[in-house]
Amino acid sequence: QILILDFGSQYTQLIARRVRELNVYCEIHPYNHLPEITSAVKGIILSGSPSSVRDADAPTVDLNALRHQAPVLGLCYGAQLMAQSSGGEVKPSSIREYGRVKLGTVNDQNPLLHGIDQHSQVWMSHADTIMTVPDNFNVIASTDTVRVAAFQIEGEQTYGIQFHPEVTHSLQGKVLLRNFVVDICGCSQSWTADSFVESTVAQLKEKLGDDKVVMGLSGGVDSSVAATLIHRAIGANLYCIFVDNGVLRKDEFEDVLESYKELGLNVKGVDSKQQFYGALTGLTDPEAKRKAIGKTFIDVFDQEAHLIEDVSWLGQGTIYPDVIESVSVKGPSATIKSHHNVGGLPDFMKLKVVEPLNTLFKDEVRAVGKTLGLPDTILGRHPFPGPGLAIRILGDITAEKVQILQEVDALFINGLKREGLYDKVWQAGAILLPIQSVGVMGDERTYERVVALRAVTSVDGMTADWAHLPYEFLADISNEIINKVKGVNRVVYDISSKPPATIEWE
Ligand code: XMP
């Protein structure tokens, strides 16, 4: 595997993704929580950083020790750290070096730069520049303005580069990373979804033995794939619970339960609609609604988990970005949950946790799901928030409002599917607004509800653009909704991007 040491760069996850795309397993660790470097670590990549090596409290590691344990590639800050700690000079750049730049000279005889063109386009993003390097650093690439764009330390498999090969604007970045990971470090490109399933199922068998696992399913990709994987390992000893919280999409509870049964999962559907509606009564504040739903879910799940005898594990669909977030350089204390209240936790939260997907990115989870034979209806599903329609009904929640919104949402989503638009948007749904508007139907004046439709394109939900759905489609859907859903006389389309808006309205 490749070890990526994170110094806090916005691009660290991208480095990991690029390495994984080469079918090589890698892990990100914060620079200040260095794991033991075993023989399994074939190479080390140092990330960039928002810090400057010139700062007194600049993040650092013992490079001399690392350099003798495995080949090392320093990217941007990582390269500057190498240069400076060996006696080179790093200074603020006189010109701003940000964006696409063409390399000038490239020593393509160097193993790191095999196959890289002389004027290859790379992505620069740095405020500091390496001015001088020690005599035993060989400069292997330059640009017009950056003399030390890449170097190798003589006699060592230690490299530094000033640009960012992990960013797609570095057009041959993947070639460079392949050179490092495969040729220089000698990693075999054998890490695939198939091999992941095989080794994970074997590990789960070993770890869980005859123990019982309880797991809550949501219908989403992560929990479904995690459950299927655990099921492969321990079969009926996995007890799945799928709760109807009353704010799911139309027919979602029945449909999802059916697909889980078809997959052979031992799943219990629990209808707790009334309990959730009870907890939501009178609440209008979005955070209060979220809390009420979260707490009710915990109560229901705890009660159900108690019905299973001798259960010792809690299965979870946690994926790698969640893990990285909770141990990030930027402040573990701010993101990790406080555990000082263990005594007051529900019993299921005291179970040992098994998280088979906690090393995978989202697209890898999908690939594993495909290998496991999960249907596209589960794998291709849009994200859906845990608090469900409760945060898409602005104001207080009633069963009647839920039912209206479910109808509108179903017409919209089915329309997107029918027109081949569903897979083109990242997430879509409808919002019930807390206002009424005047309309006319036949000869009569109406005074009814307004719904908003929202569809966005996005990569990860962190930023999003409103989806430019065809006008004809919007016109048809609007007609269909107003004609078919009693109590709605106006449909609007949300054309706000995130930021400054968010995807959900609450
Ligand atoms: P926003 O509204 O913050 O949403 O732009 C980004 C993504 O997060 C989802 N979301 C939630 N998911 N519980 C969840 O499980 C929540 O409370 C929640 N709030 C927002 C949202 O659907 C979108 O995919």
DSSP string, 288-309: HHHHHHHHHHHHHHHHHHHTST
Give the pLDDT band of residue 333 (cuts 50, 70, 90).
Answer: very low
pLDDT, the chain, mean: 93
Q: Which amino acid is at 373?
A: G
The pLDDT of residue 346 is 83
Assess whether 25 and 161 both reside in one domain.
Answer: yes
Q: Is residue 307 part of a domain?
A: yes
The pLDDT of residue 330 is 60
To the question of whether residue 415 is assigned a binding role by annotation, the answer is no
- Tokens representing residue 120 in the block: 């290859």
Of 316, 294, 295, 322, nearest to 217 (Cα)?
Answer: 316
Domain end: 319, 345, 379, which one?
A: 379
To the question of whether residue 188 is assigned a binding role by annotation, the answer is no
Burial (CB count within 10 angstroms: exposed 0-12, middle 13-18, buried 19+), residue 476 = middle
Quick: pLDDT tens for 1-17.
Answer: 999 999 999 889 889 99
CB 327 within 8 A of CB 31: no
Domain end: 149, 184, 219, which one?
A: 184
Assess whether 215 and 282 both reside in one domain.
Answer: yes
Instruction: Give the number of domains in the chain.
Output: 3
The pLDDT of residue 125 is 86
Give the pLDDT band of residue 322 (cuts 50, 70, 90).
Answer: confident
Catalytic residue chosen out of the listed positions 97, 126, 166, 252: 166
429 Cα: distance to centroid of ligand 1 (angstroms) = 12
Of 141, 186, 142, 150, nearest to 22 (Cα)?
Answer: 186
CB 97 within 8 A of CB 145: yes
The pLDDT of residue 343 is 54
CB 82 within 8 A of CB 158: yes
Q: Whose CA is nearest to atom 12 of ligand 1?
A: 385
Quick: pLDDT tens for 81-120.
Answer: 999 999 999 999 876 677 889 998 999 999 999 999 999 9
Quick: pLDDT tens for 209-260.
Answer: 999 999 999 999 999 999 999 999 999 999 999 999 999 999 999 999 999 9
Catalytic residue chosen out of the listed positions 26, 126, 164, 252: 164
The pLDDT of residue 141 is 95
Mutational test site, ligand 1, from 293, 503, 505, max ligand atoms within 8 Å of CB: 503
* Phi, psi (degrees; rounded to nearest 5) at 300: -65, -45
ipTM of model over 0.90: yes
Cα–Cα dist 83/137, whole Å: 8
Cα–Cα dist 166/73, whole Å: 12
The pLDDT of residue 332 is 39
6 Cα: distance to centroid of ligand 1 (angstroms) = 27
Assess whether 37 and 144 both reside in one domain.
Answer: yes
Residue 480 pLDDT exceeds 80: yes
Assess whether 311 and 405 both reside in one domain.
Answer: no
The pLDDT of residue 344 is 65
- Tokens representing residue 145 in the block: 């303005």
Residue 338 pLDDT exceeds 60: no
Assess whether 97 and 205 both reside in one domain.
Answer: no
Assess whether 295 and 253 both reside in one domain.
Answer: yes
To the question of whether residue 222 is assigned a binding role by annotation, the answer is yes
Burial (CB count within 10 angstroms: exposed 0-12, middle 13-18, buried 19+), residue 170 = buried
- SS3 state of residue 49: coil
Assess whether 328 and 412 both reside in one domain.
Answer: no
The pLDDT of residue 345 is 72
To the question of whether residue 78 is assigned a binding role by annotation, the answer is no
Give the pLDDT band of residue 373 (cuts 50, 70, 90).
Answer: very high
The pLDDT of residue 335 is 34
Assess whether 145 and 201 both reside in one domain.
Answer: no
Mutational test site, ligand 1, from 316, 462, 504, max ligand atoms within 8 Å of CB: 504
Assess whether 149 and 198 both reside in one domain.
Answer: no
* Phi, psi (degrees; rounded to nearest 5) at 313: -130, 150
| Whole-number Cα distances in Å, 194 to 168, 368, 373 | 27, 7, 12
Ligand 1 atom closest to residue 384's alpha carbon, by position in its atom list: 22
pTM of the model as a whole: 0.82
Assess whether 180 and 200 both reside in one domain.
Answer: no
Is there a catalytic annotation at residue 76? yes
Residues of the domain holding 304: 193-379
- SS3 state of residue 271: strand
Residue 450 pLDDT exceeds 90: yes
- % the chain with pLDDT above 90: 84
Please give the average per-residue pLDDT across 420-449, as a whole number: 96
- Tokens representing residue 419 in the block: 């027109």
Contacts by 64-69 with C-beta closer than 8 Å and gap 24+? 66/37, 67/153, 67/156, 67/158, 69/37, 69/41, 69/44
Is there a catalytic annotation at residue 187? no
Query: Which position has the token pair 């339960």?
Result: 257
161 Cα: distance to centroid of ligand 1 (angstroms) = 37
Please give the average per-residue pLDDT across 432-440, as a whole number: 97
* Phi, psi (degrees; rounded to nearest 5) at 28: -100, 130
Cα–Cα dist 158/162, whole Å: 14
| Whole-number Cα distances in Å, 268 to 31, 312, 376 | 44, 18, 22
Assess whether 339 and 407 both reside in one domain.
Answer: no
Of 455, 465, 353, 362, nearest to 412 (Cα)?
Answer: 455
Please give the average per-residue pLDDT across 442-469, as a whole number: 93
- Pocket around ligand 1: residues whose beta carbon is below 6 Å from it? 290, 383, 385-387, 427, 461, 498, 502-504
The pLDDT of residue 96 is 66
Ligand 1 atom closest to residue 427's alpha carbon, by position in its atom list: 24
When comparing pLDDT for 384 and 125, which is higher? 384
Beta bridge partners of 62: none
* Phi, psi (degrees; rounded to nearest 5) at 383: -60, 150
Quick: pLDDT tens for 348-367.
Answer: 888 999 999 998 988 899 99
Q: Which amino acid is at 49?
A: S
Residue 439 pLDDT exceeds 90: yes
Ligand 1 atom closest to residue 501's alpha carbon, by position in its atom list: 5
- SS3 state of residue 10: coil
To the question of whether residue 223 is assigned a binding role by annotation, the answer is yes
Beta-carbon contacts of 212 under 8 Å, excluding residues fewer than 6 positions away, are 237, 238, 239, 308, 309, 310, 311, 312, 313
Q: Is residue 127 part of a domain?
A: yes
The pLDDT of residue 334 is 37
Give the pLDDT band of residue 459 (cuts 50, 70, 90).
Answer: confident
